[in-house]
């Protein structure tokens, strides 16, 4: 549950809503600074990019209509914005540049088992200040279709198959956590099948009866705070989404969302991290016997018990307060079909299921050593001169991230191994004799969503846990770190991270938007040696393969993905312009000084159509 998504209904006018949605696509560039040069910039971009097809270099999405419900359609592509915050661009680099690696970044799929009794959608309406922020993001109108949007993204990535600027085939894919929504075993199984390929039935409980807050239309279960796609004969059919924002009737949508489909699987080797929604109930609280009984049990609580505030209910469940637990029997509830596959997972489960899941590479970054120590961080070889480091930024107790002392020391050791020289804690240069490698870090949380605390790691070891500022200070001692790629905030954001003491060249902080929320996008990143003492990181945004203009009458997978995106853009609680980002956060060339002289490249890889395995 991510509070920044929300705006209270009573503060949102239709004019405000329409003005926010109009930022998408070409309108994003409508400021005087961008509009004048947009066409020239786009033409120049197409002169630089080898393979822009299928990405937002070729076309973007724009909103159409007068509202209150907006449709989407195709608009012009977005040009590449050159970011010179860390290094100046040098003439002729387009002819000199050599690609080192190309990869796909996916994050925050966060697709839920929408029929799970453990989901507390009713808390969503209480997400206004001063209500605690953990009550937010508990319900979205598109949530039953998010897994279809994720599949559509994988299919689009497979079709693109290469870095659009250099044409280098994608070397790998990385999923930086919140790979599902509610830390449930069945959600983990769906995620692994989604990435490796095979049949998925995104259904739970009774396979013949859809049981969710969106499908309850009887007097006991109907609630106008949720979007109900199926038409209802009486006034109960006019939920808030239909009455105030013009959401359409889409008969049979929920039943179609639960039908099995065959996932294509991602064509490249892929690596996995985990986020707060993969380890915590609703992304906020550790699992406990009370939550477990609710998740696997036969009752769906529809509202707090009489006389109990929503925040007090949530805290009581987290703390297993007997007084609160005993009052659950008084809460409005609806019988549902129990399902043991909704049990919550542990760190050991996450590791074991990845190791046993198949696909490339085995374990998807995790090894038997991780399983023995119950650690969820690792290194992997991106390219001969590039090292990947996957961090575990999750905190076992709360949604905000942190890095434990043991992991921080491990990170320092791995960075040392990738450097011939670095700075120690006092700022003194240390020579190691090690070969230099560029370093790209991956984690779920970015630095500003991490906080210091004292707490346990996933193996129960109590130790200091560090915030993002501490991690960043460590990185600035190692000049070969060029990027920190992350998710969690559901936004497209790119920020320079210069060394405040000007000892090293700094690195780029790259955040990609979520699949659960608009704009449902991913990124392709390409690392390039400009052969002039600078590097470029190209980041290109990709939309999924669902149709831009959703077809309300179709129920095939790509049609469901298109409907998912349209509903997401019309969700009155989603701050679309914030999540989308500004032009400098989207298609960008990020320059930085090369920290060492890279070796002459091997012969160029072919730029023809990629093979099925993406190699």
Confidence grade of residue 5 (pLDDT, cut at 50, 70, 90): very low
The SS3 assignment for 375 reads coil
Asked if residues 483 and 489 have their Cβ atoms less than 8 Å apart, the reply is no
Higher-confidence residue of 40 and 589: namely 589
Q: What is the total residue count of the chain?
A: 615
The closest of 301, 313, 115, 298 to 221, measured between CA atoms, is: 301
- For residues 548 and 559, give the distance between their C-alpha atoms in angstroms, rounded to a whole number: 10
Q: What is the pLDDT of residue 232?
A: 86
Q: How far is CA 445 from CA 100, 295, 304, 400, 421, in A?
A: 26, 27, 31, 8, 28
pLDDT at 514 over 60: yes
pLDDT digits (tens, 9 = 90+) for 183-224: 999 999 999 999 999 999 999 999 999 999 999 988 888 999
Sheet containing 521-529, strands listed edge to edge, beginning at the edge strand earlier in sequence = 81-83, 588-593, 534-543, 521-529, 98-106, 172-175, 270-272
Contact between residue 184 and residue 342 where contact means Cβ atoms under 8 Å apart: yes
pLDDT over 90, % of the chain: 79
Instruction: Decide: 572 and 12 in contact? Cβ < 8 Å.
Output: yes
User: CA-to-CA distance for 272 and 268, rounded, in angstroms?
Assistant: 13
Please state the φ and ψ torsions of residue 589, each to the nearest 5 degrees: -110, 120
CA quadruple 150, 114, 279, 578: dihedral sign: positive
pLDDT at 432: 98
pLDDT digits (tens, 9 = 90+) for 580-600: 999 999 999 999 999 999 986
- pTM of the predicted model, to two decimals? 0.92
The pLDDT, as a whole number, for residue 322 is: 93
DSSP string computed for 528-597? EE-SSSEEEEEEEEEE-SS-SS--TT--SHHHHHHHHHHHHHH-TT--HHHHH--GGGSSEEEEEE-SSP
Asked if residue 130 has a cis previous peptide bond (ω within 30° of 0), the answer is yes
Query: What integer is the mean pLDDT of 234-257?
Result: 91
Is pLDDT at 16 greater than 50 in this prediction? no
| Alpha-carbon gap, residue 401 to 434, rounded angstroms | 31
**CA dist 162 → 102, 590, 604 (Å):** 7, 19, 14
Q: Among residues 358, 364, 352, 298, which one has the least CA distance to residue 328?
A: 298
* Least trusted range by pLDDT, from 313-327, 345-359, 471-485: 313-327
Strand, coil or helix: what is 261? strand
- d(C-alpha 533, C-alpha 561), whole Å: 43
pLDDT band at 19 (very low <50, low <70, confident <90, very high): very low
Output the DSSP codes for 32-45.
HHHHTTHHHHHHHH
**φ and ψ at 82, to 5 degrees?**
-85, 120
Whether the CB-CB separation of 515 and 478 falls below 8 Å is answered with: no
| Residue 121 CB neighbours (<10 A) | 21
Distance, in Å, from the CA atom of 200 to the CA atom of 211, rounded to the nearest integer, reads 18
For residue 67 the two structure tokens come to 């509202």
Confidence of residue 397 (pLDDT cuts 50, 70, 90): confident
Strands 481-486 and 507-511 turn out to be parallel
Query: Which pLDDT score is estimated for 238?
Result: 85
Mean pLDDT score, 57-85: 94
Q: Answer positive or negative: Cα dihedral of 397, 403, 405, 410.
A: positive
Taking alpha carbons only, the member of 100, 202, 118 closest to residue 440 is 100
- Measured CA to CA, the distance from residue 357 to residue 168 in angstroms comes to 28
User: Which spans in 210-288 are helix H?
Assistant: 240-245, 253-257, 276-279
Alpha-carbon gap, residue 3 to 127, rounded angstroms: 7
Residue 273 CA: distances (Å) to CA of 279, 293, 414, 574: 11, 27, 18, 26
CB 568 within 8 A of CB 520: yes
CB distance 577 to 78 below 8 Å: no
Of the listed ranges 210-224, 503-517, 519-533, the one predicted with least confidence: 210-224
Q: How far is residue 287 from each of residues 56, 116, 284, 457, 472, measured CA to CA in Å?
A: 40, 15, 10, 15, 31
> Residue 28: is its pLDDT beyond 50?
no
């Amino acid at each position: 549950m991510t509070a920044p998504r929300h705006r209270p209904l009573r503060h949102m006018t239709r004019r405000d809503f329409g003005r926010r949605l109009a930022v998408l696509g070409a309108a994003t560039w409508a400021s005087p600074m961008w509009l004048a040069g947009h066409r020239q910039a786009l033409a120049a971009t197409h002169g630089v990019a080898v393979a822009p097809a299928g990405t937002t270099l070729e076309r973007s999405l724009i909103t159409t209509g007068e509202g209150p419900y907006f449709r989407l359609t195709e608009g012009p592509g977005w040009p590449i914005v050159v970011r010179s915050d860390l290094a100046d661009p040098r003439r002729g680099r387009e002819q000199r540049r050599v690609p080192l690696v190309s990869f796909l970044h996916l994050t925050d799929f966060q697709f839920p088992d929408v029929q799970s009794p453990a989901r507390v959608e009713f808390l969503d309406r209480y997400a206004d200040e001063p209500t605690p922020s953990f009550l937010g993001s508990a319900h979205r109108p598109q949530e039953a279709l998010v897994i279809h949007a994720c599949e559509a993204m994988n299919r689009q990535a497979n079709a693109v198959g290469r870095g659009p600027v250099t044409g280098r085939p994608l070397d790998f894919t990385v999923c930086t956590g919140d790979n599902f929504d509610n830390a449930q075993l069945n959600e983990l199984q769906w995620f692994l099948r989604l990435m490796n390929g095979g049949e998925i039935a995104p259904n739970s409980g009774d396979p013949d009866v859809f049981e969710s807050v969106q499908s309850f239309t009887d007097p006991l279960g109907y609630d106008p705070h949720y979007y109900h796609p199926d038409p209802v004969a009486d006034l109960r059919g006019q939920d808030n989404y239909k009455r105030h924002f013009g959401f359409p009737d889409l008969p049979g949508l929920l039943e179609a969302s639960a039908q099995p489909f065959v996932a294509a699987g991602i064509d490249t080797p892929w690596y996995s991290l985990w986020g707060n929604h993969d380890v915590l109930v609703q992304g906020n609280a550790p699992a406990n016997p009370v939550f477990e009984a609710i998740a696997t049990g036969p009752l769906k609580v529809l509202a707090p018990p009489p006389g109990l505030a929503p925040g007090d209910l949530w805290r009581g469940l987290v703390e297993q307060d007997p007084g609160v637990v005993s009052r659950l029997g008084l809460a409005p509830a609806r019988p549902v079909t129990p399902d043991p596959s909704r049990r919550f997972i542990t760190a050991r489960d996450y590791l074991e299921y990845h190791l046993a899941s198949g696909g490339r590479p085995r374990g998807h970054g995790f090894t038997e050593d991780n399983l023995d120590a119950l650690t969820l961080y690792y290194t992997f070889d991106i390219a001969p001169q590039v090292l990947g480091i996957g961090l575990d930024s999750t905190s076992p107790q709360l949604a905000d991230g942190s890095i434990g002392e043991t992991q921080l020391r491990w990170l320092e050791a791995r960075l040392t191994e990738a450097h011939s020289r670095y700075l120690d804690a006092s700022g003194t240069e240390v020579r190691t004799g090690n070969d230099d490698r560029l370093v790209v870090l991956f984690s779920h949380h970015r630095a500003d969503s991490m906080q210091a605390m004292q707490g346990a790691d996933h193996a129960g070891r109590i130790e200091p846990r560090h915030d993002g500022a501490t991690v960043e200070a460590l990185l600035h001692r190692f000049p070969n770190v060029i990027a920190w790629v992350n998710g969690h905030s559901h936004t497209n954001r790119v920020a320079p991270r210069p060394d405040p003491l000007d000892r090293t060249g700094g690195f780029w902080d790259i955040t990609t938007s979520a699949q659960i929320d608009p704009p449902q996008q991913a990124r392709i990143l390409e690392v390039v040696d400009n052969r002039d003492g600078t590097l470029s990181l190209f980041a290109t945004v990709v939309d999924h393969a669902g149709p831009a203009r959703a077809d309300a009458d179709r129920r095939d997978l790509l049609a469901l993905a298109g409907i998912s995106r349209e509903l997401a853009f019309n969700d009155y609680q989603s701050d679309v312009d914030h999540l989308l980002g500004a032009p400098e956060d989207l298609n960008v060339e990020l320059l930085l000084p090369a920290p060492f002289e890279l070796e002459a490249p091997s012969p160029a890889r072919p730029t023809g159509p990629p093979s099925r395995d993406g190699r």
